[in-house]
Amino acid sequence: MLRLAVPLMVAEMGWMLMNFVDLAMIGRVGPQAIASVSIGSAVFYVFAIVAEGILLGLDAIVSQQYGAGEMEDCHRSLFAGLQLAAPLGLALVGVIWVSVPLLPHFGIETHVAPQVGPFLHAMSWGLPPLLAYFAVRRYLQAIHLVDIIPFTLISANLINFAGNWVLIYGHMGFPAMGAEGSGWSTTISRFYMVAVLAGYVMWQNRKRGFHLGRYAWELYTGRIWEIVKLGAPAAGQIAMEMGVFSASTLIAGRLGAVAVSGHQIALSLASFTFMVPLGVSSATAVRVGHALGRGDAEAANASGWTGVAVSATFMSCAALAFWLIPRPLVAIFTTDPAVMKVAISLLAIAAIFQFFDGVHVTSIGALRGSGDTHTAVITDFVGWWIVGLPLGWYLCFEQGMGVRGLWAGLCVGLIAIGIALATAWKLRMTRMRQTENQKIGESEKVKSHG
């Protein structure tokens, strides 16, 4: 598990580091700039991550094909994923451009809203290469070619850092573009990411004799539909999750720049630690898929619980860090005393839900590897939208707790989701192992009678 998970952990942390660096560098411009990037990112990632969710169907499909030794089918699934990613990315560019004029209707402060639009316009052009990157990455990790993935993210962060330095602050003859410059820098880094992975795939094609060219020119309509059928529920689950955090950022935006800045800093730190179990979740989905592809439910069960244990252990350590050393962590982003006070108070709440966040995301990966992408949609809908967000709204506005109340409500919802998903994985594996044992028993009966 760790041989596959560690490179993916590094990749996910590198992915989050890009947003982390954006926020840290824009934070030097002021609270309004932080707020504009925070709100713009909240809107952008709803579309980007939901689109990635559709491509998550590749996890179960390619890993089970690889486990069954069907390498040619793995290649066909890669091109089906790319054929899905291209039009989806272009369509979402249009959706974001149409959405920008609607933002002032959400009650965002008037001195923040004008900066959000240019940032989103710049970010939107990174969507097509971003979705292509997602498709190629899922293929590579499913066939155990993962070393290139962390390199891609780490080097992309260097490009993003340099781009931010030039475009945000106006160096090397460029104008100081502030939030919009951060968006263009991120987009440039995403074109770089997909170019690196494409080059790596072509190199592996020559090295291993994959003969990918023979699969590139066919339209895989049926396979695309298979990806969508598995990925759409995963996208729905991610929409539930990303939507609730985007909604929470918009709600925090109604409380003023200090509240939304503190909220975004705490959310960025919690999201950064979340990248480790997210990487473990991807590895768990692949390991479970490999085991089921070769018909071994016992190994799938062991892989699932191993992933959950690794994630829960790491997140417990992250909780201690949030509880014991919050001030140095927040100081990475800002030295504004008011913003620091809010962010530190929110990290104390984040410490409570870290363990359950690790259990929740890794259980989703285990279920996805087994072909179940529906359970997480139900649990997320109930946990986030029926319990967490309404309770957060009540505590925030009705009880006067402000942004702390918002986070307390979301914390309760997340704990419920983590427990429900771990229980769902246990029940699914119990059923699959019983089915497998029954088949083995029937096979032995046939042999004995023969």
Query: Is residue 317 packed enough to be buried (19+ CB in 10 Å), middle (13-18) or exposed (0-12)?
Result: exposed
Q: What is the mean pLDDT of residues 172-183?
A: 83
Q: What is the mean pLDDT of residues 300-304?
A: 94
Sign (positive or negative) of CA dihedral 340, 27, 37, 278: negative
Q: What is the mean pLDDT of residues 243-260?
A: 82
Q: What pLDDT is recorded for position 445?
A: 62
> How far apart (Å, rounded) are the C-alpha atoms in residues 274 and 9?
10
Please compute, for residue 119, the number of CA atoms within 13 A of its CA located in the half-sphere on the CB side: 28
Q: What is the mean pLDDT of residues 110-125?
A: 75
Buried-state track 93-132, b at ≥16 Cβ within 10 A, e below 16 = beebeebbeebeeeebbeebbebbbbbbbbbbbbbbbbbb
Q: What pLDDT is recorded for position 440?
A: 63
State the total domains in the chain. Answer: 1
Q: What pLDDT is recorded for position 105?
A: 64
> How far apart (Å, rounded) are the C-alpha atoms in residues 125 and 296?
43
Q: Token digits for 277? A: 């179990």
Residue 39 pLDDT greater than 80, yes or no: no
Residue 67 pLDDT greater than 70, yes or no: yes
- Compute the residue count for the chain: 450
What is the chain's alpha carbon radius of gyration, rounded to the nearest angstrom? 22
> How far apart (Å, rounded) are the C-alpha atoms in residues 18 and 197?
18
Q: Are 300 and 74 in contact (CB under 8 A)?
A: no
Q: What pLDDT is recorded for position 59?
A: 85
> How far apart (Å, rounded) are the C-alpha atoms in residues 14 and 150?
7
Q: What is the pLDDT of residues 354-386, one digit of tens each?
A: 999 999 999 999 999 998 989 999 999 999 999
Read off the pTM. 0.78
Q: What pLDDT is recorded for position 109?
A: 56
In angstroms, the first-to-last Cα distance of the chain is 41
Mean pLDDT of the chain: 87
Provide the H-helix boundaries in 370-402.
375-380, 389-393
Q: Are 67 and 289 in contact (CB under 8 A)?
A: yes
Which phi-psi region, left, alpha or beta, contains residue 171 (left: φ > 0; alpha: ψ -120 to 50)? beta
> How far apart (Å, rounded) are the C-alpha atoms in residues 187 and 133?
13
Q: Could you say which DSSP state residue 209 is in?
A: T
Q: What pLDDT is recorded for position 423?
A: 96
Q: What is the mean pLDDT of residues 200-226?
A: 90
Residue 400 pLDDT greater than 60, yes or no: yes
Residue found under tokens 């504004």: 336
Residue 42's domain comprises: 2-449
Degrees to nearest 5, angle at CA 314 with 309 and 320? 130
Which residue type is seen at 73?
Answer: D
Residue 12 banded pLDDT, cuts 50, 70, 90: confident
Q: What is the mean pLDDT of residues 30-44?
A: 73
